[in-house]
Structure 1
């Protein structure tokens, strides 16, 4: 909605796919990390549709959550819930569109997952 997560993913300069709300039924063919903003469960239905499509959930290696720390316990709520529901690690939590340190951390984590 605000584009913060999209801006962060672009900073990573890694191959990326944006889940399309109009058609979340896209099949991923290789292991991936999911980056999600903080939204309530109802709005996350499209992410669940994507993960439940074909073998997508089995290729999920971890989740990055983004949000605003002003949300207190709801900060990266969607990422925490998805991590629990799909038993995937919450790899990192970023605020807004992340910092240079967040980018470095995620790149390091992705490199470790690839090896």
Structure 2
């Protein structure tokens, strides 16, 4: 499974750079990206206008179809608004919010995220095998 991410200030980009187990792909607002396999999306927490490229990406081709889960980065000081962008995407596209972390994440966050992605891969593989 691939990890697709979007970064505004560099926090999610730094998190993605720490991932060893998965190929990462950055959403580039100037280029169209179409996924052909299941992926996990990692997004920062910002108002929709700041992460509009994420929604453009999700509406491109069959990208919605291959979205397996979403993870969010944010600041816990914002209480109920912590990772609200990821929560909104999870709800809108009917996928699980698999992990939430602060800023660019810790080593523990990376390990936990990669474990969640492995679990999601297992579930995705089982569903495909049953079809």
Q: What does residue range 84-95 of structure 1 map to in structure 2 within 5 Å? A: 84-95=91-102
| 2:81 paired residue number | 74
| 2:39 paired residue number | 32
1:19 aligns with 2:27: yes
1:112 aligns with 2:119: yes
Structure with greater Cα Rg:
2
1:62 aligns with 2:69: yes
TM-score when normalising by structure 1: 0.93
Separation (CA, whole Å) in 2 of partners of 1:41 and 1:74: 13
Separation (CA, whole Å) in 2 of partners of 1:42 and 1:81: 13
Number of equivalenced pairs? 114
| 2:129 paired residue number | none
Separation (CA, whole Å) in 1 of partners of 2:51 and 2:92: 12
TM-score when normalising by structure 2: 0.82
1:99 aligns with 2:111: no
1:50 aligns with 2:57: yes
User: Unaligned stretches of 5+ in structure 1?
Assistant: none
User: Unaligned stretches of 5+ in structure 2?
Assistant: 1-7, 123-131
1:5 aligns with 2:12: yes
1:41 aligns with 2:65: no
RMSD: 1.1
